């Protein structure tokens, strides 16, 4: 994920990424996926932050990345509600282009790596 896109998520949801006193301007956390999944991650973070606020539970990500073509993440402080929020993002990543956020499908590229891409991004990024 590009620095600016990742930094926006860190700034909106600092506690989920382990920041207690605000996010430094040069902070990098290491979200390992394309910018197209920003809305999936943002929606998931919103639900998790809401849960943390209403329950007092400390919820923190361990990692967020693309693996085997889909969104994978682990976190601490989860319960059935947070598991549901993560599952929704996971399942939506199967049909959301990792590059542009449009409707996509999972398929191997020319190098054999599996990704979720829309037809336009698949043509522009063949491998």
Classify residue 53 by its DSSP letter: H
**Token couple for 84:** 């549901």
- 86-123, pLDDT tens digit by residue? 999 999 999 999 999 999 999 887 778 899 999 999 88
Rounded Cα gap, residues 110 and 91, in angstroms: 24
Kindly list the distances between the CA atom of residue 8 and the CA atoms of 47, 97, 109, 114, 120, in Å, as whole numbers in the listed order.
Answer: 17, 20, 29, 27, 26
- 11-49, pLDDT tens digit by residue? 999 999 999 888 888 888 999 999 999 999 999 999 999
Predicted confidence at residue 127, as pLDDT, reads 60
Q: Where are the domains of the chain?
A: 3-94
Predicted confidence at residue 110, as pLDDT, reads 73
The length of the chain in residues reads 127
Q: Is the model's pTM score more than 0.95?
A: no
């Amino acid at each position: 994920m590009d620095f600016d896109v990742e930094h926006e998520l860190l700034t909106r949801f600092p506690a989920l990424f382990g920041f207690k006193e605000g996010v430094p301007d040069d902070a990098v956390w290491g979200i390992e996926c394309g910018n197209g999944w920003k809305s999936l991650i943002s929606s998931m973070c919103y639900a998790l932050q809401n849960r943390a606020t209403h329950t007092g539970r400390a919820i923190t990500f361990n990692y967020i990345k693309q693996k085997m073509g889909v969104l994978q993440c682990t976190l601490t402080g989860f319960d059935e509600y947070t598991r549901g929020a993560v599952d929704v993002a996971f399942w939506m990543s199967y049909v959301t282009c990792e590059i542009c956020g449009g409707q996509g499908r999972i398929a191997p590229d020319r190098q054999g790596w599996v990704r979720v891409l829309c037809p336009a991004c698949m043509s522009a990024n063949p491998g």
